[in-house]
């Protein structure tokens, strides 16, 4: 693909840099899944259809390329394949973007001017209309109105209403599609808590925040919060509760008892919960009591995962590295991950030599597949010291016990740095070819194998597409065949065409926008193959038959019309 740059904004190279090669490559396969693209003044919004319909926001500024996606990978802060697909789509329309941004700015100015021209009564009428139509907005405004008044019991009542899950599900559980909306309701409580603290009512703020936190955690227990919206808002609410406790005259020993119970109980639902946020409120006596209670709980259940986690946190806070190492060493995992944890703790304490010894021991003692994070740690240490041969040996060990594409890529990088890639590649591909033969036998015996052999993916990843095509017969998965067809359709249209035709068949019986987007994308590729082969009349016959067969799917036919199919 040619390198493109959108004047003053970003280019393909920027997308590749922020996403990484893997996400960038996967994003190429989602170009036809981008829908509802809308360009604003400072950002582009779109929906990308994958496993689900993901909402994407791509920023348009001069500070580099950034954005957000509602997919799980995007919610973890990564620049995902869906963002790549939207970015590439925007680059493909780069010539239109300046005019679209100008039009968006004009619409924004027009709306702002209209609002400014409304009288107070007209504005109130507009707000009242929205309040009647939007129950969530009404409850948020009711809470703000209550917070501005003197009656805190009214504030408590409005908070309870705002966080009542029955507003989102009559069955008492929050569905995946409603998690983000409920999270927004929780967020509305935060400025109220901070306002009470700033207004000298910290004790009342702590009480309201504590009640709200209990309500949200009860909702979270029965919610589908796969993307972490509610959990993140609950964590923010816990932080607000800690601020209120620090500003209020609380009993430190009583707070310690509550905090220990919370950390050992409902607080487990908050993956990022940190009791350290309460240190200012606890004081020395409260911290001592909290330490006593957590230590007591750990001694009563030394094998309990959460008790160990909390105890390790205490030891880390106290700086007792040797005791922390001893806790980890008591239960070493066969993957070597525990060895890595010990190495990282020793690194933090400035004991780099001991850290390296523990990491090397983890690699030696690993049974089965070694944890890739341990290998990453060791390889980075070796390479920083210029010991590229040792880094390669670590990568080779990881690949031999776990022949995945990720391990192959890491092995390739290390072997190139060591100047040994040619020999290492020959051996690695030989092992992967043997795996492919064995896996094919299992697949034919009834075992699933949707991803296909790593052998084919490794050849593709190396850029040796011709070799991958030649090796694919009888072993490649449908997904790998499609990848190969996309890469070689220009040079081998006769080979790519039957792959696309085979892929479109199961989609005939499916409904929904994601399936329709796939059909349209495949038809475009089928048309291009026929054009290269000089058989366009055959495509016209095929397309007419498909449209006749699918005529009841109005959204599909509409999409095909939009694509000129």
- Whole-angstrom distance, CA of residue 487 vs CA of residue 465: 8
CB neighbour list of residue 234: distance below 8 Å, 6 or more residues apart: 186, 213, 216, 217, 220, 269, 270
B/e letters for 251-276, b = 16+ CB within 10 Å, e = fewer, are: ebeebbeebbebbbebbebbeebebe
Alpha helices in 248-278 (DSSP H): 252-264
Confidence class for position 450, pLDDT limits 50, 70, 90 = low
Q: Which residues pair with 67 in a beta bridge?
A: 58
- Report the pLDDT averaged over residues 251-272: 90
Question: Helix or strand or coil: residue 203?
Answer: helix
CB neighbour list of residue 256: distance below 8 Å, 6 or more residues apart: 282, 286, 287, 289, 290, 293
Residue 77 contacts residue 93 (beta carbons within 8 Å): no
Which of 138-152, 204-218, 343-357, 513-527 shows the lowest per-residue confidence on average (mean pLDDT)? 138-152
**DSSP secondary-structure letter at 370?**
P
Quote the mean pLDDT of the chain: 87
153 burial level (CB within 10 Å; 0-12, 13-18, 19+): exposed
**DSSP secondary-structure letter at 199?**
T
Confidence class for position 8, pLDDT limits 50, 70, 90 = low
Residue 476 has pLDDT above 60, yes or no: yes
- Whole-angstrom distance, CA of residue 429 vs CA of residue 412: 11
Residue 131 has pLDDT above 90, yes or no: no
Confidence class for position 46, pLDDT limits 50, 70, 90 = very high
- Whole-angstrom distance, CA of residue 47 vs CA of residue 89: 12
Range among 160-169, 172-181, 354-363 rated most confident: 354-363
- Whole-angstrom distance, CA of residue 294 vs CA of residue 300: 10
- Whole-angstrom distance, CA of residue 65 vs CA of residue 8: 11
pLDDT tens by residue, 357-400: 999 999 998 888 889 999 999 999 999 999 999 999 999 999 99
Query: Residue 100: which of 17, 39, 143, 52 has the closest Cα?
Result: 39
- Whole-angstrom distance, CA of residue 513 vs CA of residue 555: 8
- Report the pLDDT averaged over residues 551-565: 88
Confidence class for position 425, pLDDT limits 50, 70, 90 = very high
Which is higher by pLDDT, 261 or 93? 261
Residue 2 has pLDDT above 60, yes or no: no
Confidence class for position 145, pLDDT limits 50, 70, 90 = confident
**What CA–CA distances, in Å, run from 517 to 1, 457, 508, 545?**
22, 25, 12, 18
Query: Residue 101: which of 146, 61, 149 has the closest Cα?
Result: 61
Give the β-pairing of 53-59 and 43-49. antiparallel
Confidence class for position 247, pLDDT limits 50, 70, 90 = very high
Residue 389 contacts residue 414 (beta carbons within 8 Å): no
**DSSP secondary-structure letter at 266?**
G
Residue 476 contacts residue 452 (beta carbons within 8 Å): yes
Q: pTM for the whole thing?
A: 0.61
pLDDT tens by residue, 47-85: 998 767 888 999 877 657 888 888 878 877 788 999 999
CB neighbour list of residue 171: distance below 8 Å, 6 or more residues apart: none
Q: Name the one residue in this structure whose structure tokens are 């896996």.
A: 439
- Whole-angstrom distance, CA of residue 442 vs CA of residue 36: 43
180 burial level (CB within 10 Å; 0-12, 13-18, 19+): middle
**What CA–CA distances, in Å, run from 422 to 411, 418, 458, 468?**
12, 11, 14, 17
pLDDT tens by residue, 266-317: 888 887 788 888 988 999 999 999 999 999 999 999 888 889 989 988 898 8
Question: Helix or strand or coil: residue 436?
Answer: helix
- Whole-angstrom distance, CA of residue 46 vs CA of residue 58: 8
**DSSP secondary-structure letter at 371?**
P
């Amino acid at each position: 693909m040619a390198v493109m740059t959108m004047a003053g904004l970003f280019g393909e190279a920027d997308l590749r840099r922020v996403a990484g090669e893997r996400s960038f490559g996967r994003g190429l396969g989602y170009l036809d899944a981008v829908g509802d693209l809308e360009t604003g003044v400072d950002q582009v919004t779109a929906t990308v259809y994958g496993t689900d319909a993901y909402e994407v926001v791509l920023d348009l500024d001069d500070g580099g390329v950034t954005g957000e996606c509602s997919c799980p990978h995007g919610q973890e802060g990564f620049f995902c394949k869906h963002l790549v697909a939207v970015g590439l789509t925007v680059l493909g329309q780069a010539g239109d973007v300046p005019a679209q941004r100008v039009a968006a700015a004009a619409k924004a100015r027009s709306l702002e001017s209209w609002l400014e021209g409304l009288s107070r009564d007209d504005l109130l009428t507009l707000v009242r209309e929205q309040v009647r139509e939007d129950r969530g907005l009404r409850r948020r405004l009711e809470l703000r109105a209550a917070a501005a008044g003197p009656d805190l019991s009214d504030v408590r009542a409005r908070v309870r209403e705002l966080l009542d899950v029955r507003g989102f599900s009559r069955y008492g559980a929050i569905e995946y599609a409603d998690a983000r909306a409920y999270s927004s309701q929780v967020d509305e409580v935060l400025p109220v808590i901070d306002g009470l603290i700033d207004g000298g009512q910290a004790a009342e703020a702590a009480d309201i925040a504590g009640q709200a936190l209990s309500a949200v955690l009860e909702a979270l227990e029965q919610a589908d919060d796969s993307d972490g919206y509610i959990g993140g808002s609950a964590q923010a609410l816990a932080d607000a509760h800690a601020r209120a406790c620090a500003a209020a005259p609380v009993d430190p020993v009583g707070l310690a008892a509550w905090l220990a119970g919370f950390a050992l109980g409902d607080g487990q639902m908050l993956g990022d919960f940190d009791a350290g946020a309460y240190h200012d409120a606890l004081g020395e006596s409260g911290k001592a009591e909290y330490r006593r209670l957590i230590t007591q709980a750990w001694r009563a259940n030394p094998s309990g995962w959460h008790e160990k986690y909390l105890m390790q946190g205490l030891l880390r806070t106290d700086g007792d590295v040797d005791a922390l190492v001893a806790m980890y060493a008591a239960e070493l995992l066969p993957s070597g991950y525990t060895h890595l944890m010990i190495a990282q703790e020793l690194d933090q304490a400035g004991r780099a030599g001991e850290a390296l010894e523990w990491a090397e021991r983890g690699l030696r003692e690993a049974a089965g597949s070694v944890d890739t994070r341990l290998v990453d740690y060791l390889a980075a240490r070796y390479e920083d010291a210029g010991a590229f041969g040792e880094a390669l040996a670590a990568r080779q060990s990881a690949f031999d016990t776990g022949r995945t594409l990720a391990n192959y890529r890491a092995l390739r990088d290390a072997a190139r740095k060591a100047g040994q890639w040619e020999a290492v590649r020959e051996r690695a591909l030989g092992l992967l070819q043997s795996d492919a033969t064995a896996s094919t036998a299992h697949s034919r015996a009834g075992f699933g194998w949707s991803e296909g052999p790593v052998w084919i993916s490794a050849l593709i990843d190396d850029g040796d597409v011709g070799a991958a095509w030649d090796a694919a017969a009888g072993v490649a998965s449908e997904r790998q065949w499609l990848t190969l067809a996309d890469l070689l359709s220009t040079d081998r249209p006769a080979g790519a065409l039957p792959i696309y035709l085979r892929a479109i068949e199961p989609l005939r019986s499916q409904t929904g926008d994601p399936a329709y987007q796939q059909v349209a994308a495949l038809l475009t590729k089928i048309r291009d193959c026929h054009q290269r082969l000089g058989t366009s009349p055959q495509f016209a016959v095929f397309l007419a038959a498909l449209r006749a067969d699918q005529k009841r799917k109005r959204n599909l036919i509409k999409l095909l019309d939009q694509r000129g199919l």
